Amino acid sequence: MLEEQGNGLIKSGVLKLLKLLGNSYKPFIEDIHRKTRVTMTKTQQSVKEMVKSGADLKLSEVIKDEAHLKAICIECKRQNIAFAIKKEENGDRQLLYKKKDADLVEKNICNVLNNSLKPKRSLMELINRNKEISSKEAQKIKNKEVSREER
């Protein structure tokens, strides 16, 4: 990704320089455009596209929960990691990704699974907790007022 950005910056710099030099270099400019066409890789791909790319690929562990899979895909897209979802006959799904991105994908999977294991507070628990905090704060204010009156 950084290499593509660097190539784009170099290309734009060369093009600006050639435009300053005049019209005699137009064929050269067109040649640069043709040879340095930057192609963006999409993040979610089919399994065939991933295999066709020729990169070293790796499979993740089986992901059974649809919500976990969706969250992992969102994180991978956010980090521009190329991946594919491999569906098996029994309904299990696995992520297929490049070996160079293995650390990031495994980290994303761990983060998603750890976040899902945390117990979520219900609305009533939050309301009761806020009531307790506000009653404690009210009690502190009353104690301060009482101590001021005694002085």
| 42 Rama class: left (phi>0) / alpha (psi -120 to 50) / beta | beta
Helix residue ranges, H only, the chain: 2-21, 26-35, 47-52, 66-78, 102-117, 123-150
pLDDT at 95: 87
SS3 36: coil
**What are the structural domain ranges in the chain?**
1-40, 41-118, 122-151
Tell me the CATH number of domain 41-118, given options 3.30.420, 3.30.70, 1.10.3470, 3.40.50: 3.30.70
Q: What is the pLDDT along the chain (151 residues), one digit of tens a residue?
A: 556 665 666 777 777 776 776 666 667 667 766 666 555 456 777 777 878 877 788 888 888 888 888 888 888 888 888 888 888 888 888 888 888 888 888 888 888 888 876 777 788 888 888 889 988 888 888 888 878 777 6
